[in-house]
Copies of this chain bind each other. A is one copy, B any other.
Amino acid sequence: MIVRELHEHGSLSRSELGVRTGLTRSAIRVLIGELADLHLVNEGTSAALGTPGRPSSLVNPTPLGAVVLGMDVKVDSVDVAAVGLGGEILNQIRVERPRGRISVDRTVADLVDLVDRVWAITPGREALVGIGVAVAGLVRRSDGLVYNAPNLGWNEVPFGAQLSDALHATVPLAVANEADMAVLAEHRRGAAIQAEHVIYLSGEVGVGGGVIIDGRPLTGLAGYGGEVGHMPVNPNGIACRCGSYGCWETEIGEGALLLRAGHRPGGGQGEVDVVLEEVAAGVPEALNAVDNVGRWLGVGLAILVNVFDPEIVVLGGLLGRLHPYVLARVERELDRLALRAPRGLVRVVPSMLGTRASLLGAAELAFEPMLSDPLGWAGVRTAAIAASA
């Protein structure tokens, strides 16, 4: 509990730790001693400006005491970061890749290469406790099988196993959907801190979703939960890449925006920039295209507000960029379509972590096994170091 509190909330005084964990002063003293011996926490003083009296002693997470690798496989880039306990990014390297089908082998090789480059500039490799990978696709949590990643062209790929082998990983490696990871990061360190009921929507090429309920991530039976981008919201809608019809993504995704604005649907970020410039300049077609996104964003959010009674909806990616332009229309549709009771409780805000959200969430996922049992993990690590010495 102590390590988790410090990891999620940063430095805390002993008395704050007591309040948060319910542990007695003496229990906290003993445990902090053990955790300090394991280099997971350290104590220091903070001389808060303007606070009279002697500086209070703070317990801090030790970033290099436990390190994870977070990875993010997006449609047009891959990222690897080493993240220390407490959430500090030690080093991050990204490579852009062309959109379109990219083989699993190529992706695994890219990630292995990035990991080597990250370790070359990062200390603390022996403190590695886990690896987390976010993928733009449907992922079975139990074994990291990517059931389907349409924008990468992957189908039923044992990605987790393949990557773990290629990395010769001796720590747990977990694979998850990118939006599920983004909502985890926004919940812990971004726009949804302190909210326990959160919906996150990402808009890249596709529209992904992640949900936090009562502070816990929604995964569903196998890990396929939260796929709100494929809710069939329009019975008269067009065919979706997923094989269905009228999915939310066909109305609020990048392709829909570009097409309605008179641009090439496959144009990517650069083409979206042009549309936003046109919106600022008042070009009617662009304004109309954005308004259509706002309308359908409101329709789908009305569904989710009635289903989840959330506190906050976080818009990421393309939808985050569109937030200022669509908010009024979204609010109007929510007023019209959502039940008054839950509607009155929800706020719609842009992402705080931006394109790094899913990478940071993957790192959070990687910390989970260690956070559930820090003392056990430290023991395993010590044994491994002794064995390799």
Contacts and interface: CB of A to CB of B under 8 A. Distances in A.
Interface of A: 138, 140, 147-148, 196-197, 209, 211, 213-214, 216, 218-228, 230-236, 242-245, 299, 302-304, 306-311, 336-342, 345
Contact of A213 (B213, B303, B338): B213
A244 B333 CA distance: 10
* Count of chain copies: 2
Nearest to A139: B341
A18 B269 CA distance: 58
A302 B339 contact: no
A216 B214 CA distance: 10
7 contacts: A138-B341, A213-B218, A220-B308, A221-B342, A224-B309, A232-B299, A244-B302
A125 B197 CA distance: 39
Given A147-B341, A222-B341, A222-B342, A230 B309 contact: no
- Listed residue (A148, A214, A234, A345) with the most chain B CB atoms within 10 angstroms of its CB: A214
Contact of A231 (B213, B236, B307): B307
Contacts of A299: 232, 235
A305 to B, nearest CB: 9
Contacts of A230: 306, 338-339
A283 B227 CA distance: 39
Contacts of A147: 340-341
Given A148-B340, A339-B224, A345-B221, A231 B309 contact: no
Contacts of A242: 339
Contacts of A302: 231-232, 244
A242 to B, nearest CB: 6
B225 A308 contact: yes
Given A235-B234, A236-B236, A223 B337 contact: no
Choose among A234, A304, A308 the residue with the greatest number of B CB atoms under 10 Å from its CB: A308
B227 A337 contact: no
A233 B232 CA distance: 8
Contacts of A345: 221-222, 224
A221 B339 contact: no
A2 B268 CA distance: 58
A247 B197 CA distance: 23
Contact of A225 (B222, B224, B235, B309): B309
A233 B236 CA distance: 11
A200 to B, nearest CB: 13
Q: Which 3 A-B pairs have the closest CB atoms?
A: A220-B309, A225-B309, A224-B309
